[in-house]
Amino acid sequence: MVRMTIKRVMLSALFLIVGAAQADDVKLKPFVLASKSEGTVVEKSAQVKTALTTAGFTVVGEYAPYTGANVIVVTSDDLKKNAAASDAGGYGAVQRVSVTEAGKDVQVSYTNPVYMSHVYRMEGDLAGVSAALEKALGRVEEFGAQGMTAKQARKYHYTIGMEYFDEPSRLATYGSYEEAVQAVDAKLANNKNGVTKVYRVDIPGKQESVFGVGLKGSGDNKSMDDQFIMSEIDFRDLKSTAHLPYEVLVSGKNVYALYARFRIAINFPDLSMMGKNSFMNIMRAPEAIRKTLESTVEK
């Protein structure tokens, strides 16, 4: 009897170890395809917003970066709670849902909460948020990359010499959080330098707020333009429109943005360095984005 008990305990422990190892090997991808069907972006966007609010999400903004595309940005109590518990957690305080024309169909996709929780090094893995989005919108498949494990995602950078999550650009410094967040809100609302405010979410219990911004440029400043960038890198059949919009984070008295060599790469980690539809074609974008955001929110 004692031997049988020991054997069962050992087998149970083995199953737990194997299960944990398998979980560690799960490949996560940036986006989730919720559905693909006929219709219009306007119709689908309305349906998506209704489904999201019914599921307990709050719509904080919408962004139409170009014709045939719309991004609906949402938050929830769970998202804000996890953001509050995480260092620079404001980046993960929202999820983005895209509605995009692709051929004869309209694709509804969203950022993968579990993937995002790891690339943003958050405390919780947002599995509950993922389940809520799946229930509200559906889930066909993950896409956007060959995939990374949670461990790989938490240490991610595109290649040697490129920025990590904890190496953002500091855009400005104010005298206090209150001064910083009010100034940034006002400056973004003024639509200066082609930068438009899409949303603002304040993180509860912290001096931290995240803003979503649309970027529109032309001529010499075309490199920071959302439509230009996406025309070069979002070329596959499944559209990664939910990459947009970009974020500006007010944390304490400082204003930050993730450097574009990280912020773009987390959603397009398999993009080639050179050649057609490669990072080389948008090589000026990271500095163009940084300078544009800096000049927009500077004190």
The token pair at 141 is 């498949």
Q: Answer whether 180's CB lies under 8 Å from 174's CB.
A: yes
Element (H, E) at 208: strand 208-215
**Coarse DSSP helix, strand, coil percentages of the chain, rounded to the nearest 5 percent:** 40, 25, 35
Mean local confidence (pLDDT), 270-294: 94
Mean local confidence (pLDDT), 241-262: 98
Q: What is the mean pLDDT of the chain?
A: 93
pLDDT reported for residue 29: 98
Tell me the CA end-to-end span of the chain in Å, nearest whole number: 75
pLDDT reported for residue 2: 45
The token pair at 8 is 């069962």
The token pair at 151 is 């461990």
pLDDT band at 21 (very low <50, low <70, confident <90, very high): very low
| pLDDT tens-place string over residues 152-166 | 999 999 999 999 999
pLDDT reported for residue 82: 98
pLDDT reported for residue 97: 98
pLDDT band at 191 (very low <50, low <70, confident <90, very high): confident
pLDDT reported for residue 277: 87
CB-based burial, 176-213: b 16+ in 10 Å, e otherwise = ebeebbebbbebbeeeebbbbbbbbbbbeebebbbbbb
pLDDT reported for residue 192: 82
Mean local confidence (pLDDT), 269-280: 91
φ/ψ (deg, to 5) at 265 = -65, -30
Q: Answer whether 210's CB lies under 8 Å from 74's CB.
A: no
pLDDT band at 22 (very low <50, low <70, confident <90, very high): very low
Please list the residues that pair with 214 across neighbouring strands. 196
- In 3D space, the residue among 69, 292, 60 whose CA is nearest the CA of residue 195 turns out to be 292
| pLDDT tens-place string over residues 46-71 | 999 999 999 999 999 999 999 999 99
| pLDDT tens-place string over residues 58-115 | 999 999 999 999 999 999 999 999 999 999 999 999 999 999 999 999 999 999 999 9
The three-point CA angle 177-180-183 to 5° equals: 145
φ/ψ (deg, to 5) at 253 = -95, 0
Higher pLDDT, 20 or 252: 252
Q: Tell me how far apart the alpha carbons of residues 132 and 216 are, in angstroms, rounded to a whole number.
A: 33
Task: Assess whether pLDDT exceeds 50 at residue 14.
Answer: no
Rounded percentage of the chain residues whose pLDDT exceeds 90: 87
According to CATH, what is the number of the domain 28-297?
3.30.310.70
pLDDT reported for residue 7: 52
Q: Answer whether 264's CB lies under 8 Å from 243's CB.
A: yes
Rounded percentage of the chain residues whose pLDDT exceeds 70: 92
pLDDT band at 16 (very low <50, low <70, confident <90, very high): very low
Higher pLDDT, 250 or 221: 250
- In 3D space, the residue among 219, 243, 230 whose CA is nearest the CA of residue 277 turns out to be 230
pLDDT reported for residue 25: 84
Mean local confidence (pLDDT), 6-33: 64
Domain boundaries, the chain: 28-297
Mean local confidence (pLDDT), 181-207: 95
Mean local confidence (pLDDT), 1-17: 50
Q: Answer whether 156's CB lies under 8 Å from 119's CB.
A: yes
Question: pTM of the entire structure?
Answer: 0.91
pLDDT reported for residue 8: 56
